[in-house]
Structure 1
C-alpha cells in the first residue's frame, strides 16, 4: 500500500473539481492521528482502503474535533478511535473516563424501586446541618473502611427519623460512593419488594427470586423504609427473617432506614393479623442490632420544600 501522502495526491488530482471532496481529502491529510495510524498500518491496508473508507476517516476527524470544541457528538461520552479490520480502517468508539466510571457504577449498584433522585445522590452535596452530621460522619467512616479494603465485619447503620429528612438520600449517596469505588451494593425499597413478592403467589417470577437471593448475599445491602409495609407473618419471617439471618451469620454489612426507632420497630414487628408475637419480634431485633448501629436523624421535611 502507498503511503498516505501518495494516496492523497492521487485523490486530490482525481477530485480537484469537486470542492467538498477536495476539502475532505485535505482535512484527512492534515490530521496527525490519521497520518500516524496510516504509517503504522501501511503494509496491512488494502489498495482501495482510502477510497472505500474515506467516510470513516472523515467521521473520525469530525467527532474528534467536536469533542475538542465541546460540541454534541454522535455518541456522547465516547471518543472515536481508528482500528484496522480486514485491511480497512474502521472507526469505533471508546468510553471516556467519566463514562467508564458510570458504567462500572451501574454494574456494582443494584437499585430496586428507588426514587430517581437517588441516582444522583452525592455525599458532597448533602446538606450538613446538626440533625444530619452524626449520620454523615458515620457514613463517611464506614465508606473509608470499605475503600481501604478492610475485611473484618463492618457494622452498618440503622437510620431512623421523621419523613423527608434525608435518610434515603444519605443512603443513596453512600451507595453511589461505594459503587464508584468498585464496591458492590444493593438499594432495596423493602415495602415495594414485599408487595411485588406477594403478587407472585400464583406464579413464579425468577427475577424476584434472584433479587431475594442477592438481598441475602450482596456485600452491602441497604433496606430502605423498613416498617412501612403492611406486616404479615410471612413477610416478617419468610422474607425479612431469612435475609437478616443469612447476613448476620455471614457478617455482611447491612443498612436500614425507617421512620421507627428500634423500640418502635420491635413493637411493629410483634403485631400481625395472627396476633401479637413479641418473641419473634425480639429475635429479629437481635439480628438488626447485630448488623447495624442505631443513628437518629432530625431536621425539617425537605419533601415539602418548593
Structure 2
C-alpha cells in the first residue's frame, strides 16, 4: 500500500494542480481585456494563454487597480502611472506598459509649464485665456490678431510680431498672456517678462555675472513677450546693450516679438531718446525703433480699466 500511495499521491497532486491551473485560466480568460485580445487574435491557441498565466494574472491584478484608481501619486502598479496591455511575443503573451490618462495629463501640464516661462508676471495675468477675456468691441481686432498670430505657427513662423498699446488696465497684458497659453497648443515656447522689473534684475546681475545668461533666454525664446515696455527707467546702456541687443538678435534670427505698452510707437521713440547725461539721443532712438516698426503689427486697445472694475463692489 505504501508503494501505491507513493505513486498515486504525486499523480493526484499533479492532477489537482492542473485542475487549479485550468480554473485560474478560465477565470482570467473571462476578463474583459483578455476577451478583447482573444477576439483580435483568434489564431492564438489556448496553450499560449496557459503558458502565459503569470502575465495574465498580473494583467488582471493591475487592471483592477486602474478600475479603482487611487490617484497617480498612490498608484500601486508595478510601473507607476502605467497600465498593462497584452502583446504577443515569441510564442508567449507579454505585457507592454502604456502610460495612463492621468500620467499623460500630468506630463502635458508639465510640458505646458516648460513651454510658458515668465519673469515678474502676476499669476492672475498668466492664467488669462482668450475665453476669459471680455471681448468688448474695442478689443476684438487685437484679440483676432493675437489668435491669428498663434494659428500661423501651425504652418510656419509668423513674419511679424504684435505691438499692443493703450491706457492702463485695458487688457493688453492679458491678451499677450492668452497668446502664451494658446501657443502651447502648437508646441511653441514663449517667454513673457515684465520689462521694468527685468531691467532692474539685469542691473543687479552685473555683480553675479549672470547678465549674458539672462539675455540669452530673451534672445532665444521662440516667442518673446515684452510686457509694459516703455515703463522702465531708460539709460543708454539698457537701451543699447540690453533692449537693442535682444531685438537685434531676434530680428536677425526672424524670431517674432510681442510687446505691450502704454505708449504708441512715436511716444516709445521719444522714451528711447532720453539721455541721462542731459538732452536727447534721437539717432540712437531711431536705430532701435528700426528693429521694432517694420517687424510689428500695431493695435491700439481701448476700453474700461478692468482693475478698477474688479475693485468695485
- Tell me which interval the TM-score lies in, with the shorter structure as reference length: 0.7 to 0.9
- Pairs within 5 Å for 1:84-95: 94-95=100-101
- Pairs within 5 Å for 1:34-53: 43=51
| Residue segments in structure 2 that go unaligned for 5+ positions in a row | 1-16, 38-45, 87-93
Q: Give 1:166's aligned residue.
A: 171
Of the two, which has the highest radius of gyration?
2
Q: Deviations over 1:221-278 (max 9, x none)?
A: 1111111222122111110000111112222211100111112111111113222212
Q: Per-residue deviation at 1:214?
A: 2.7
TM-score (norm 2): 0.72
1:150 correspondence with 2:159: no
Q: 1:225 aligns with which of 221, 228, 237?
A: 228
C-alpha separation between the residues in 2 aligned to 1:155 and 1:265?
18
TM-score (norm 1): 0.73
C-alpha separation between the residues in 2 aligned to 1:134 and 1:201?
41
SS of residue matched to 1:123: coil
Indicate conservation of the 8 Å contact 1:63/1:73, yes or no.
Answer: no
Q: 1:141 aligns with which of 148, 170, 175?
A: 148
Q: Give 2:218's aligned residue.
A: 215
Q: Give 1:262's aligned residue.
A: 265
| Residue segments in structure 1 that go unaligned for 5+ positions in a row | 11-25, 67-71
SS of residue matched to 1:111: strand
- Pairs within 5 Å for 1:49-64: 60-64=63-67
Q: Give 2:118's aligned residue.
A: 111
The verdict on how the C-alpha distance between 1:64 and 1:234 changes in structure 2, with shifts beyond 3 A counting, is farther
Q: Give 2:294's aligned residue.
A: 290
1:73 correspondence with 2:71: yes
C-alpha separation between the residues in 1 aligned to 2:284 and 2:31?
73
The verdict on how the C-alpha distance between 1:272 and 1:8 changes in structure 2, with shifts beyond 3 A counting, is farther
C-alpha separation between the residues in 2 aligned to 1:250 and 1:223?
17
Q: Give 2:10's aligned residue.
A: none
Count of residue pairs the alignment pairs up: 271
The verdict on how the C-alpha distance between 1:7 and 1:34 changes in structure 2, with shifts beyond 3 A counting, is farther
C-alpha separation between the residues in 2 aligned to 1:36 and 1:81?
16
Coordinate RMSD, CA, aligned: 3.7
Q: Give 1:32's aligned residue.
A: 32
C-alpha separation between the residues in 2 aligned to 1:59 and 1:46?
12
SS of residue matched to 1:104: helix
The verdict on how the C-alpha distance between 1:197 and 1:127 changes in structure 2, with shifts beyond 3 A counting, is same
C-alpha separation between the residues in 2 aligned to 1:274 and 1:45?
84
Q: Give 2:192's aligned residue.
A: 187
C-alpha separation between the residues in 1 aligned to 2:244 and 2:49?
62
Q: Deviations over 1:263-296 (max 9, x none)?
A: 2111111113222212111111121112212211
SS of residue matched to 2:131: helix
Q: Per-residue deviation at 1:144?
A: 2.5
The verdict on how the C-alpha distance between 1:44 and 1:257 changes in structure 2, with shifts beyond 3 A counting, is same
Indicate conservation of the 8 Å contact 1:108/1:184, yes or no.
Answer: yes
Q: Per-residue deviation at 1:8?
A: 9.9
